[in-house]
C-alpha cells in the first residue's frame, strides 16, 4: 500500500478564492495541493459579469471597506481588504496584459472574455508550483494533533498540516455549488450563520402584484429602501420588472438586506417632486394624467398606475387634488412586500456562512488549528459590482500570508 502524499497546505475549491490562495501560498514557498470536485474550473468566474468578469471595484474604500459588505460582523472583513486592495489586483491584471474598462460606479470588467482571469490565476498557480487535481472528490477529512489533516479523496489519501476551505456557498447549484464548506465547519465545531440567497431577484404574488404582472421587461432607475430606521439601506440603481417580480441591480443590492415579511419602499422618479409637478400640470394642461406622468416614468408604468383608479382616467385639469396627491405618494413612496426570492438558482452569492466569531480576521484561520475558511463560504457578502471577487482575492491573500508565517514557525 502506497504512503499518502504530503503537502504543506491543501486548498479545497478551485474558484476565485481557492485559485488565488493556492497561487499566493505556492509563491511564498509552500508545497500546495489544490483540488475541486467540478469538471470545469472556476465556472463562477467564467459566467460572471456577462462573461466579462467584474473582477473588482475601484470605489472600495480601503479605510472603511465594511460599508460595502453584509454579515453578522461587517467589520471582520476590514483587515484583509485593507491589506490587499483593488489596486493590488488591478496591478496583477495589468502585469498579465489583460485589457479592462470601468463600466459603472467603479466596476471593472475585462474587455475580452472572463477566461483571461482564469488563465491568469492558473498561470500564477503554475508559478507557485501548485499541484492541481480536478475533478477530485473529497470523501472525508480527519485531523490528528501533530499530524494535521488527512483527506480521503477520489485520487487517494493526502495529508497536510494546513487545510483551506474555499468551496463557496449554495448559489448557482447547476455549476456545482454545495454545502461542503458548512459541513466541514460543523464537523470541527465551528458555528455557521444560516445561509440564504443574496444578490437575488425578488418575487411577488397575490392581488397587490396583479396590476404590474404585465410589465415584464420594463426597466427604469429607482431609489429602493428597506429596513427599520437604524438599519435602513437605500440604493439608487436600475430596476427590472420580470414575469415573477423584480430584478435588476437595485433589487439585487437590496435583497442582501431584505428580511422576509419586510416591505420595500420604491421611488420611481428619484429627484422629481411628483406631487408638485402634478399640481402645476393641473393648472396648465388638459392632457390625460397618464400622459403627464410619462414625462417622468415609462408610459407602460404610468398606464399601470393610472389604470388602478377610475378617478385618474381623465384629464389632469379635471382630477381631484386628493387623487393626484395619492398618486404622487404611490409613485414616490410605493410600499410592497416581496413574497420571497428566486432562490439559490438565480442568486449571485450566498449570504451567511462560517461564523466570523470563529475565525481570525488577520489570517482567516479558525479556532480549529490549521483550518482556514476564505471567500464566499465565510459570513461576508459584498455588494453587487465586483466587491465579492475583491473579498475572494483579499481573504485568499491574508490566508496565504498566515499559512506561510505559520509554516516558518513550525506551527
pLDDT confidence band for 1 (50 / 70 / 90): very low
Of all helices (H) and strands (E), which one includes residue 198? Answer: strand 192-198
What pLDDT digit, counting tens, does each position of 56-74 carry?
Answer: 999 999 889 889 999 999 8
What pLDDT digit, counting tens, does each position of 302-341 carry?
Answer: 999 898 888 888 899 999 999 999 999 999 999 999 999 9
Reduced to 3 states, what is the DSSP secondary structure of residue 403?
helix
Q: Are residues 126 and 166 in the same domain?
A: yes
pLDDT at 132 over 60: yes
Q: Are residues 226 and 320 in the same domain?
A: yes
Range of 178's domain? 5-196+349-408
Q: Are residues 209 and 243 in the same domain?
A: yes
Q: What is the spatial distance between Cα 119 and Cα 351, in angstroms, rounded to a whole number?
A: 28
pLDDT at 2 over 70: no
CATH number, position 262: 2.40.30.10
3-state SS track over 10-54:
EEECCCHHHHHHHHHHHHCCCCEEEECCCCCCCHHHHHHHHHCCE
pLDDT at 411 over 70: no
pLDDT at 410: 62
Q: Are residues 241 and 309 in the same domain?
A: yes
Task: For residue 59, say if its preceding peptide bond is cis, omega within 30 degrees of 0.
Answer: no
pLDDT at 57: 98
What pLDDT digit, counting tens, does each position of 246-261 carry?
Answer: 999 999 999 999 999 9
Q: Are residues 393 and 306 in the same domain?
A: no
pLDDT at 3: 60
Of 320, 342, 364, the residue that ends a domain is 342
Q: Are residues 53 and 115 in the same domain?
A: yes
CATH number, position 100: 3.50.50.60
Q: Are residues 338 and 353 in the same domain?
A: no
What pLDDT digit, counting tens, does each position of 179-205 carry?
Answer: 999 999 999 999 999 999 999 999 998
Radius of gyration of the CA atoms of the chain, in A: 25
Q: What is the spatial distance between Cα 390 and Cα 382, in angstroms, rounded to a whole number?
A: 9
* Residue 402 Cα distances to 164, 290, 332, angstroms: 11, 62, 50
Of 342, 374, 389, the residue that ends a domain is 342
What pLDDT digit, counting tens, does each position of 203-242 carry?
Answer: 998 888 888 989 999 999 999 999 988 889 999 999 999 9
What pLDDT digit, counting tens, does each position of 143-166 carry?
Answer: 999 899 999 999 999 999 999 999
CA 210-216-219 angle, 5° bins: 120
- The pTM for the full model equals 0.95
Q: Are residues 192 and 207 in the same domain?
A: no
Q: Are residues 168 and 75 in the same domain?
A: yes
Number of domains in the chain: 2
Amino acid at each position: 500500500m502506497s504512503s499518502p502524499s504530503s503537502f504543506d497546505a491543501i486548498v479545497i475549491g478551485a474558484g476565485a478564492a481557492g485559485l488565488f490562495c493556492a497561487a499566493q501560498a505556492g509563491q511564498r514557498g509552500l508545497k500546495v495541493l489544490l483540488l475541486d470536485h467540478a469538471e470545469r474550473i472556476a465556472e463562477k468566474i467564467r459566467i460572471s459579469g456577462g462573461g466579462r468578469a467584474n473582477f473588482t471595484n475601484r470605489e472600495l474604500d480601503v479605510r472603511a471597506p465594511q460599508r460595502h459588505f453584509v454579515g453578522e460582523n461587517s467589520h471582520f472583513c476590514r483587515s484583509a481588504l485593507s491589506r490587499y486592495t483593488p489596486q493590488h489586483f488591478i496591478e496583477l491584471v495589468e502585469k498579465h496584459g489583460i485589457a479592462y474598462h470601468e463600466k459603472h460606479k467603479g466596476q471593472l470588467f475585462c474587455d475580452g472574455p472572463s477566461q483571461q482571469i482564469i488563465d491568469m490565476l492558473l498561470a500564477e498557480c503554475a508559478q507557485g508550483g501548485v499541484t492541481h487535481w480536478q475533478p477530485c472528490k473529497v470523501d472525508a477529512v480527519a485531523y490528528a494533533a501533530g499530524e494535521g489533516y488527512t483527506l480521503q479523496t477520489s485520487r487517494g489519501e493526502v495529508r497536510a498540516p494546513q487545510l483551506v476551505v474555499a468551496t463557496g456557498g449554495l448559489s448557482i447549484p447547476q455549476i456545482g455549488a454545495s454545502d461542503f464548506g458548512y459541513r466541514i465547519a460543523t464537523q470541527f465545531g465551528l458555528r455557521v450563520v444560516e445561509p440564504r440567497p443574496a444578490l437575488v431577484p425578488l418575487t411577488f404574488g397575490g392581488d397587490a402584484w396583479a396590476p404590474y404582472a404585465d410589465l415584464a421587461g420594463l426597466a427604469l432607475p429607482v431609489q429602493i429602501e428597506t429596513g427599520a430606521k437604524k438599519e435602513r439601506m437605500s440604493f439608487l440603481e436600475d430596476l427590472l420588472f420580470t414575469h415573477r417580480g423584480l430584478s435588476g441591480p437595485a433589487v439585487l443590492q437590496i435583497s442582501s438586506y431584505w428580511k422576509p415579511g419586510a416591505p420595500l419602499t420604491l421611488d420611481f422618479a428619484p429627484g422629481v417632486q411628483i406631487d408638485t409637478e402634478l399640481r402645476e400640470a393641473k393648472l396648465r394642461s388638459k392632457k390625460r394624467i397618464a400622459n403627464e406622468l410619462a414625462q417622468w416614468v415609462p408610459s407602460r408604468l404610468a398606464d399601470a398606475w393610472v389604470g388602478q383608479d377610475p378617478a385618474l382616467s381623465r384629464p389632469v385639469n379635471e382630477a381631484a387634488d386628493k387623487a393626484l396627491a395619492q398618486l404622487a405618494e404611490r409613485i414616490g413612496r410605493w410600499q410592497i412586500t416581496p413574497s420571497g426570492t428566486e432562490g439559490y438558482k438565480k442568486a449571485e452569492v450566498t449570504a451567511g456562512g462560517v461564523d466570523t466569531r470563529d475565525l481570525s480576521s488577520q489570517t482567516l484561520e479558525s479556532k480549529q488549528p490549521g483550518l482556514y475558511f476564505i471567500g464566499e463560504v465565510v459570513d461576508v457578502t459584498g455588494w453587487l459590482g465586483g466587491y465579492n471577487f475583491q473579498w475572494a482575492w483579499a481573504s485568499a491573500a491574508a490566508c496565504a500570508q498566515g499559512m506561510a508565517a505559520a509554516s516558518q514557525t513550525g506551527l
